Amino acid sequence: MKPYFVKTPSLVPILYQDQIWSFSSKHKNIYLTFDDGPTPQISDWVLDTLQQYNASATFFCIGKNIEAHPTIFKRIIDDGHAIGNHTYNHLNGWKTSKEDYFDSVLKTEKLIEKHQITNRKLFRPPYGKIKKSQSKLLIKNKYAVVMWSILSADFDMNIDADKCLENVIKNVEKGSVIVFHDSVKAFEKLQIVLPKVLRHFNKKGYTFNRIE
């Protein structure tokens, strides 16, 4: 697996100021995000776990998964979480033309709109890979491009749950945006780490917010 930054270097948000990397906050707010769902059983487990801690989150959903699992998608909305667009089929922006990329986003947007989502249009590029031209087009069309400040790295098969937990616990600050995945690949670590993260920061007086 190619190297990645668990904590986004401070220079990156300065260079890409038109994208959201974290939130300025005087309060103990954390923004949990989940990519790649909805996924049968796994997304439901995440929702059950969040509910136990009265935690809100943001789900960046893949269009074809919304299409395949509308009941789970509806539950995410009914539980009060925010929805984001993650392209229709998890496209790598660096390997995709601007036109094809935007078409994939619009295809997913139409599926989301069927459920009358009220939060603003949020988008996260799969793999974090997006060309400047693609980002500009999305922003022009009223999307907020949401990146992150912390990667849990639950997707990394070369680390264990303890390391995944450490990635989050050691790096959280007020206003941090944290990436998890409600996917089959990540679930082995997620089911261990997420309850511990929620418990740890709940005890420290943090609030888990959705992105508005």
Q: Which residue has the tokens 């136990």?
A: 52
Mode of pairing for the β-strands spanning 122-123 and 58-61: unpaired
Q: Which of 35, 36, 154, 156 is catalytic?
A: 35
> Is residue 162 annotated as part of the catalytic site, yes or no?
no
35 part of the active site = yes
* Among 69, 81, 181, 182, the one annotated catalytic: 181
Residues marked as catalytic: 35, 181
